[in-house]
Amino acid sequence: MSIGAVVVACCLGSLGRAPGAAAAPSGRVVRVERSGGSRIPPRLCEIHGDTGNCVGDEPRPGQTVAVMDEHHVVAEVQVVEAASFSPSCPMLWTIKTRPMRGAAADTDGIGVIDASLDLGRAHLLDRGRMPSSPSGLPDDEVWRAIDRDGDGAADILVTRYGCDSAGRATTTGSTFCIDLWARTGARMTRTTQLNFALCNH
């Protein structure tokens, strides 16, 4: 499952589809920094050809999205245009892109906007090597993890859990939150929370 698919499915579910529609999604995007790196939080994106969806701060025209698989960065696309996915859904964006590197078929997938990413070593972690969520919550599911520098450790994480309208974890709610986590030195810090309960407003 891809993170972008999860984002869209969760959002569509909170905008009126059955909550169960969000249970099938799969993947998504993030950015991290180590000491001495950029202090700008990463944006996680799912790219489909010349369009995509991103989570985090608003992407800016001219920024580069690195699209990757479990082995390496397979393509790079440049943001041409960005717009809010919905006025009531902060931190969720639709983008238009143009190719920079890689074949057109390689531009579908999980990507990240991250000035500190090592393009020669970054890759997605295999699903069998997913770490537990830094939140420590038992129902916080890690959907995707990114190794930014090829050392085998997760530097960017995307997690999902049930939450209420205030973003508090709950097992009884019908909506979801998605968190992005990024490593700073030895510590993982939550950089973004996307609360789909707000998309109903």
- Reading the chain (201 residues) residue by residue, the pLDDT tens digits are 444 455 544 543 333 232 333 333 333 333 333 333 456 799 999 999 899 999 999 999 999 999 999 999 999 999 999 999 888 888 899 999 999 998 767 777 999 999 889 999 999 999 888 999 999 988 899 999 999 999 999 999 999 999 988 889 988 877 889 999 999 888 999 999 998 887 765
- Owning domain of residue 135: 3-200
Longest dimension (CA), the chain: 45
Question: Domains in the chain: how many in total?
Answer: 1
pLDDT at residue 40 in the model: 79
Q: DSSP secondary-structure letter at 195?
A: E
Reference 81, options 108, 125, 50, 103; nearest CA is: 50
Whole-model pTM: value is 0.79
Q: DSSP secondary-structure letter at 137?
A: -
Which parts of the chain are beta strand (E)? 43-48, 51-55, 64-68, 73-84, 92-101, 109-113, 123-124, 141-147, 156-163, 175-184, 187-195
How far is Cα 125 from Cα 148, in angstroms, rounded to an integer? 10
